[in-house]
Amino acid sequence: MNGKVTLLGAGPGDLDLLTLKAVKALAAAEILLLDDLANPDIVTLAPQARVIRVGKRGGCKSTPQDFIQRLMRRYALAGKIVVRVKGGEVLLFGRAGEEIAYLQAAGVAVEIVNGISSGLAAAASLGISLTHREHCRGVIFVTAHAQDHSEPDWGALAATGTTLVIYMGMSRIGSLSDGLMRTLPSWTPAAVVQWASTDRERRLVTTLGALAGDAEAAGLGSPAIILVGEAVGEALPTALPLAA
């Protein structure tokens, strides 16, 4: 009898943010494929699972995507309950589309268990609404690092009148800031939140023009979320200092 694969969003790191559905799926797991960005303590919620670490980090040595997919297929076809744990939200920049298609083509049942995205956790840390109706028309979640290593059209994104929540952008923070300032004024509110929701969290609230320099001076790096837009100016006073 075939098993199944659950693609599970582990959220930004705080295990208290896991859904009840995620906790139940972890408890039932026989094989746990663990992403580097997930809180490693999540394994305590899967006491009967064999844990296989399949880290994927930009700029670091990573487990090949094809290898991860073949592992999921092999164990599921052997009748195992496989849980693929991804940091943040499964359906946002987590290669879930590739994995779903691959597993379905192999006849493997796939379940999705959503998690809180690090972009939402970053906004919560700053105390802002990403869709504050006095400041924006909506929100755009965008990655600064496409598969072909190209960058988005920052000027076009800036012209949308939305809050921009930028993933995987720290290595390109200078070029993305310059690109956005082709449309937005340099005083546009901007922020960086590193390791959102965890005890390692660090926050920076600044302006678009000072963003790259301030982030470098503060020593901020990946994993972090960059937020740009007028709504970011509503950050709570407690969010303004950079956390130690």
Is residue 244 assigned to a domain? no
Answer with the one of 52, 85, 113 that is the final residue of a domain: 113
DSSP state of 11: B
Q: What is the DSSP letter of 60?
A: S
Q: Alpha-carbon distance 186 to 32, whole Å?
A: 45
What is the extent of the structural domain holding 223?
A: 118-239
Strand order in the sheet with 189-194: 139-143, 163-167, 224-228, 189-194, 202-207
**Residue 243 pLDDT more than 60?**
no
Q: Are residues 107 and 56 in the same domain?
A: yes
Active site residue 168: yes
Q: Which helix (DSSP H) or strand (DSSP E) does residue 86 occupy? A: strand 81-86
Q: Using one digit for the tens of pLDDT, what is the confidence trace for 55-102?
A: 765 555 678 999 999 999 999 999 999 999 999 999 999 899 999 999
CATH value at residue 155: 3.30.950.10
Output helix, strand, coil percentages for the chain, rounded to the nearest 5.
35, 20, 45
Domain identity same for 219 and 202: yes
Q: Is 36 a catalytic residue?
A: no
Distance CA 145, CA 211 (A): 18
Q: Domain count for the chain, please give it.
A: 2
Q: How many Å apart are CA 53 and CA 19, to the nearest integer?
A: 22
User: Which tens digits make up the pLDDT trace of 92-132?
Assistant: 998 999 999 999 999 999 999 999 999 999 999 999 999 99
Amino acid 151: pLDDT: 87
Given 72, 80, 86, 168, which residue is catalytic? Answer: 168
Are 9 and 82 part of one and the same domain? yes
